[in-house]
Amino acid sequence: MSDKAEYGAEQIQVLEGLQAVRKRPAMYIGTTDERGLHHLVYEVVDNAIDEALAGHCTAIDVRIHEDGSVSVTDDGRGIPVDTHHKHDRPAVEVIMTVLHAGGKFDNKSYQVSGGLHGVGVSVVNALSKRLTVEVTRDGAVWQENFERGKPGGLEQVDELDSEAETGTTIRFWPDEEIFETTELSFETLESRLRELAFLNSGVEISLTDDRVDRREEFRYEGGLREFVAYLNEAKTALHEDVCYLADSAEIDAGVVRVEAALQATDELQGSLHAFANNISTREGGTHLTGFKTALTRLVNEYATEHGLLKDLDGTLTGEDVREGLTAVLSVKHPDPQFEGQTKTKLGNSEVRGIVESAVHEHLGTYFEEHPDTAAAIANKAVEAARARKAARKAEQLTRRKSALDSAALPGKLADCQTRDPTEAELFITEGDSAGGSAKQGRDPSFQAVLPIRGKILNVEKHRLDRVLENNEIRNLITALGTGIGDEFDIDALRYESVYLLVDADIDGAHIRTLLLTFLYRHMRPLLERGHAYATQPPLYRVRYRGETYDAMTEQERDRIVAEVCDGNPTQVQRFKGLGEMNPEQLWETTMNPETRRLKRITVEDAAAADKMFSVLMGDAVEPRKEFIKDHAPEADWIDI
């Protein structure tokens, strides 16, 4: 634990006043759907994690209460309650009501901070109908209540011994006026909190759900080593040990700390996850570049020294080295600069050299001390290089001259008329029957249709050369225009939106899963940038007195029949498949931008998504059986 740094009202710096967060919540939390809702919890937890990073907190408790509120308790120093000199109010009130107010804008209170832009807890307050903060410090317990961001005044509610433990509890009730739903998901919070526990070894994080009497606790003394082992639970490792390294470097702003862990598996898909100050850097950045460069150079040096490259033309590429490799990289920086479309790309230029040097030095030493591990990693990379050579010819078949060149488009693709990719939509349909209806029902000015015959290859189990032998996948790659592998270019995407249009049955779900596996493994930016959607065609159509009502479930159908049709509908039609819909029905229910229902497919937690694809689509049977056993009670329907 570090020495207690100064942390009082004078350390709270205010950059600007609170703006109308309630009027434009998406500017601060991204969305007002489930993702935005859970983002509120993450912001409060990030404050507690910052206390842990500063060496003042060892336990964090997150609790979902029966009334739908959530509380976060930590045993840190407690938010300052003394009067802020500039605002003439208690510091805790300033932090809760002023945007960009916090102790994270200099390096006196926090050497490293995971709170992204310092807007966190005040935004949580603004978007909650009620919020209560309770602080234990300075020999007393203090409490303040807020109503939709408005302070109620700080009160001392108890007096304690001056040596009593300190801490903060923030409890808030998300505002139904702001959010589409206020129902918090235990599983979503569990995934993020587990990740934070891996990234901050020794910190105990618990999650309790009073609604269903459920509790999980996370504490990982092994940190990143245990993270990699967790990600590889459904995979076969090529060496027992998990390689681990840690290093630090001094810069003007403070100390940059680097941690990494990796283990090779017999999988064909690599799994590399990079974090900066506990934030998942999905778009990469300088730390990831440094890691990849050092790793590739190191494995090449080993392979050359041991004569493993004799039958290869040239050296191993980065993709060769990373095939089947599970790795986690974590960087803690005193002044991180985030950039990119989603602010999840680390931009600090000095970090590349720091990471590159640390990985080359420490992993090089590890390879010398563990020759069997080094041999396993290098041999796996050489095997991947041989397969890459075989894939070159197949890959050339999918190359496109330009994003709008339609000369080589698949014969089954009914392309749209617009030449502007930002206006274009692509519907990937299940089978020729649904494809025929979609082609007739669409608006050809901006909607394209590509029918997929049968179930495409499960790419989780095959290398790229085998994947590219599949005609349906080649058609899909060509239609999208992005290329694949080393030539993948998300900016060459021919359609702004890609819709997976499949039946609402078990076969349709399987086809959608196979398509998502391909997109996740080979075109992940398509998902990360929000281009992919699952259409939600209705299962039932109810007619009554000349009006038409669509229902997604039996319960919704029954409700419409009872409440709208007085129990006496003119007709109730069940759609067994998309092919049964005529073009007009398909347009009205699924393709018309004014009336269709869509679900955007995103990657919120890359590590959790990676593990799930491995469990559900990989070779190992036992983890899949366990998943089915654990989650069988949650199934809404089973198609037998």
Residues known to be catalytic:
430, 503, 505, 507
Residue from 16, 18, 6 nearest 106 by CA: 6
Residue from 125, 181, 174 nearest 150 by CA: 125
Give residues with Cβ within 8 angstroms of 612, minimum separation 6. none
Q: Which two tokens stand for residue 640?
A: 């037998």
**Alpha carbon 194 to chain centroid distance?**
14
The stretches of 422-537 forming alpha helices (DSSP H) are 431-441, 464-467, 471-480, 506-522, 524-528
Neighbour count for residue 475 (Cβ, 10 Å): 22
Burial code (b: 16+ CB inside 10 Å, e: under 16) for 301-317 equals ebbeeeebbeeeeebbb
Left, alpha or beta for 506 (phi > 0: left; psi -120 to 50: alpha)? alpha
115 φ, ψ (degrees, to nearest 5): -65, 120
The stretches of 200-249 forming alpha helices (DSSP H) are 224-231
For residue 137, give the H/E element and its range.
strand 128-137
Query: What CA–CA distances, in Å, run from 8 to 119, 499, 504?
Result: 19, 52, 57
Asked if residue 278 lies in contact with residue 46, where contact means CB atoms within 8 angstroms, the answer is yes
Q: Where are the beta strands (DSSP E) in 371-446?
A: 425-430
The stretches of 470-621 forming alpha helices (DSSP H) are 471-480, 506-522, 524-528, 554-559, 583-586, 606-617
Asked if residue 494 lies in contact with residue 426, where contact means CB atoms within 8 angstroms, the answer is yes
Neighbour count for residue 556 (Cβ, 10 Å): 16
Whole-number Å distance between alpha carbons of 164 and 171: 22
Whole-number Å distance between alpha carbons of 561 and 542: 8
Vertex 37, ends 126 and 228: CA angle to 5°? 125
Q: Which two tokens stand for residue 405?
A: 């060149």
Total length of the chain: 640
Q: Which two tokens stand for residue 319?
A: 């993709």
One-letter amino acid for residue 134 of the chain: E
376 φ, ψ (degrees, to nearest 5): -65, -45
Neighbour count for residue 153 (Cβ, 10 Å): 10
Distance between first and last Cα of the chain: 58
Whole-number Å distance between alpha carbons of 419 and 404: 7
Asked if residue 379 lies in contact with residue 308, where contact means CB atoms within 8 angstroms, the answer is yes
Give residues with Cβ within 8 angstroms of 347, minimum separation 6. 285, 286, 337, 338, 339
Asked if residue 534 lies in contact with residue 601, where contact means CB atoms within 8 angstroms, the answer is yes
Asked if residue 472 lies in contact with residue 453, where contact means CB atoms within 8 angstroms, the answer is yes
